[in-house]
């Protein structure tokens, strides 16, 4: 059997890394495609997987997004049409799903983002199966796909790597960090189609971090998403960068281990906070909208806090750093009772075959 996997972001790359390894260990031929964006390519390579890198992220403007997508689809057609693919798996990638559908390849779609309305409209209706966490109502997707094709599981996609993680302290030496004396930060998805547009600057992190930087001695490790965010952060935190208190990560690194050994995680998105909370690290998301997954993780007792207001977010982060509560052992016990989505995905792959 031959499977084609597509990943567009760091989160997707992590999931597809473990799925690739699982399938290859069982003599399945796997093709992995990605684009030159974020830390995705580096994550694959750090795990010994060489993806086919096609195209790049289109940016903020609609025309640029469209042109980038169309060019990428044409290149994907050239590559995939020469292969005998039995099944395609993606995390709602419009490019790969359009190509797979056009070439008659069955599609298994993964999603935990019903808020990504435009992307879901372009991808979900083309799927043979849609895999979602149980905490997301089927009704959120039922206008796009037959509910009988929606497969739910009692867990979260982040468990694919959280259940298999072996945190490595060597990563602390790389950045001159001490365990539980730093925080990990991820910027917002400000260029995503579903994200409210920021009016004056590419990120609000300076407001979120100010109190903690001014009143404590913890270090801050920042993972920016876009070049304009990176430039802005280097400029606004220049003094702290020069002193080694703010570290802006340039290349893909072991962010999971960094999060595991940190005091706290804060993000304008969701994945960094969700995976850290599942490992027992107090985490804050200042994403402006409601997330089913985020809400469920918090409801199950993991230390995840949704605080869209930047001033309140700043205050909560400072309090977490001061309190230094460690939930790691308790949280790692809790995840044992949750379902591993990798098993669900693999069963569907072989069912289609």
Label residue 252 by pLDDT band (50, 70, 90).
confident
Q: What is the mean pLDDT of the chain?
A: 93
50 contacts 25 by C-beta, under 8 angstroms: no
- Return the pLDDT at 225: 86
Compute the distance between CA of residue 261 and CA of residue 181 in angstroms, rounded to an integer.
9
In 141-248, which ranges are continuous DSSP H helix? 159-162, 170-174, 205-215, 227-236, 238-242
Label residue 306 by pLDDT band (50, 70, 90).
very high
Domain spanning 2-155+339-352: which superfamily?
A: Glycogen Phosphorylase B; (3.40.50.2000)
Q: In the chain, where are the structural domains located? A: 2-155+339-352, 170-336
Q: Convert the pLDDT of each residue in 212-222 to its tens digit.
A: 999 999 999 99
Q: Domain 170-336 has what CATH class?
A: alpha beta
Averaged pLDDT for residues 12-25? 96
- The yes-or-no verdict on residue 19 having pLDDT over 90 is yes
The pTM (predicted TM-score) of the whole model is 0.91
Label residue 78 by pLDDT band (50, 70, 90).
very high
Q: Convert the pLDDT of each residue in 84-100 to its tens digit.
A: 999 999 999 999 999 99
More confident call, 287 vs 137: 137
User: Which DSSP string do the residues of 312-350 spell out, in sequence order?
Assistant: HHHHHHHHHHHH----HHHHHHHGGGS--HHHHHHHHHH
5 contacts 14 by C-beta, under 8 angstroms: no
More confident call, 224 vs 194: 224
Averaged pLDDT for residues 241-267? 94
H helix or E strand, kind and range, residue 119: helix 117-123
Rg (CA), the chain: 20
Averaged pLDDT for residues 155-164? 95
Do 2-155+339-352 and 170-336 share a fold?
yes
Q: Convert the pLDDT of each residue in 29-67 to its tens digit.
A: 999 999 987 788 999 999 999 999 998 877 777 888 899
3-class DSSP state of 187: coil
- Return the pLDDT at 196: 58
Q: Convert the pLDDT of each residue in 104-122 to its tens digit.
A: 999 999 999 998 899 999 9
Around 124, how many Cα atoms within 13 Å sit in the side-chain half-sphere? 27
Label residue 197 by pLDDT band (50, 70, 90).
low
- Return the pLDDT at 277: 97
**CA 242: distance to chain centroid?**
29
């Amino acid at each position: 059997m031959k499977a084609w996997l597509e990943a567009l972001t760091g989160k997707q790359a992590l999931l597809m890394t473990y799925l690739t390894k699982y399938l290859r260990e069982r003599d399945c031929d796997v093709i992995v495609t990605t684009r030159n964006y974020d830390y995705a390519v580096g994550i694959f390579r750090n795990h010994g997987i060489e993806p086919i890198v096609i195209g790049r992220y289109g940016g903020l403007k609609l025309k640029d997004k469209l042109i980038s997508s169309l060019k990428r689809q044409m290149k994907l057609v050239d590559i995939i049409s020469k292969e005998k693919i039995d099944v395609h798996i993606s995390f709602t990638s419009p490019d790969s799903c359009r190509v797979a559908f056009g070439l008659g390849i069955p599609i298994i779609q993964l999603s935990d983002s019903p808020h990504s309305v435009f992307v879901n409209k372009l991808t979900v209706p083309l799927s043979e199966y849609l895999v979602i966490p149980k905490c997301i109502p089927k009704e959120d997707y039922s206008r796009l796909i037959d509910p009988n094709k929606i497969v739910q599981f009692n867990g979260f996609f982040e468990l694919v790597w959280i259940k298999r993680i072996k945190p490595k302290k060597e990563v602390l030496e790389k950045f001159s960090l001490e365990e539980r004396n730093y925080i990990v930060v991820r910027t917002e998805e400000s260029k995503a189609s579903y994200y409210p547009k920021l009016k004056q600057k590419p990120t609000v992190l300076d407001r979120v971090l100010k109190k903690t930087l001014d009143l404590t001695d913890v270090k801050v490790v920042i993972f920016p998403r876009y070049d304009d965010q990176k430039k802005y952060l280097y400029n606004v935190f220049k003094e702290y960068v020069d002193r080694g208190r703010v570290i802006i990560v340039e290349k893909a690194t072991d962010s999971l281990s960094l999060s595991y050994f940190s005091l706290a995680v804060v993000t304008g998105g969701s994945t960094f906070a969700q995976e850290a909370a599942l490992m027992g690290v107090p985490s804050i998301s200042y994403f402006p909208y409601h997330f089913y997954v985020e809400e469920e993780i918090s409801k199950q007792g993991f230390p995840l806090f949704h605080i869209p207001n930047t001033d309140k977010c700043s205050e909560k982060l400072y309090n977490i750093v001061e309190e230094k509560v460690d939930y790691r052992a308790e949280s790692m016990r809790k995840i044992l009772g949750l379902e591993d989505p990798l098993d669900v995905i693999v069963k569907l792959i072989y069912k289609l075959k």
